[in-house]
């Protein structure tokens, strides 16, 4: 093969080689997910259902103990508004573990939580331990939004 043809063939082979993806900065993503959860906790304390729901994707699903799943950010906002109407309500999440997909587009947090509310039967203040798992998706704007969120009670 003539040298010029070899150069053209080598250049074509390089152009056909897929570019290597940048390595995923797992620690940075986990820190971002923990920051989202910290803000969610702050929005609960502030009793702001709009800000709380803003951390969820438009098509997110939320699952709370004893209730049917709720679908969509609007339903999550309505559920938060109802919960915040209870003067005893508060909920705090503590991340125990977190992870990131290999391509850096999905992340999850898992941990324990405490929920305080008014018991509907006794009307007394009730404090309950819970566990949770939240799956987050990297949005086009670079933010992380919850797409699946489940809480479950922990027996005493």
Q: What is the pLDDT of residue 120?
A: 87
- Joined tokens for residue 25: 């900065």
Question: Could you tell me if residue 19 is inside a domain?
Answer: no
Write down the pTM of the prediction.
0.83
Distance CA 114, CA 67 (A): 17
CATH code, domain carrying 118:
3.10.450.50
Q: What is the pLDDT of residue 122?
A: 94
Q: What is the pLDDT of residue 73?
A: 97
| Number of domains composing the chain | 1
User: Mean pLDDT per 10-residue run, the chain (156 residues)?
Assistant: 49 49 89 97 97 98 92 97 96 96 97 94 94 97 97 87
Question: Could you tell me if residue 101 is inside a domain?
Answer: yes
Question: Could you tell me if residue 13 is inside a domain?
Answer: no
Q: What is the three-class DSSP state of 57?
A: strand
| Nearest partner of 135 among 37, 23, 28, 31, judged by Cα | 37
Distance CA 134, CA 93 (A): 11
Q: Cα torsion at 137, 139, 143, 146 (round to 10°)?
A: -30
């Amino acid at each position: 093969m003539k040298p010029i043809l070899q150069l053209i063939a080598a250049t074509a082979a390089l152009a056909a080689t897929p570019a290597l993806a940048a390595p995923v900065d797992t620690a940075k993503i986990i820190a971002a997910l923990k920051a989202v959860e910290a803000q969610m906790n702050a929005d609960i304390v502030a009793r702001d259902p709009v800000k709380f729901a803003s951390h969820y994707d438009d098509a997110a699903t939320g699952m709370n103990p004893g209730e049917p799943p709720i679908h969509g950010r609007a339903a999550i906002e309505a559920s938060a508004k109802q919960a915040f109407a209870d003067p005893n309500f508060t909920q705090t999440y503590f991340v125990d573990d977190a992870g990131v997909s290999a391509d850096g587009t999905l992340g999850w947090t898992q941990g324990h939580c405490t929920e305080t509310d008014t018991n509907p039967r006794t009307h007394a203040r009730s404090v309950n331990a819970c566990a949770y798992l939240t799956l987050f998706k990297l949005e086009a704007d670079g933010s992380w939004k919850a797409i699946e969120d489940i809480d479950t009670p922990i027996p005493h």
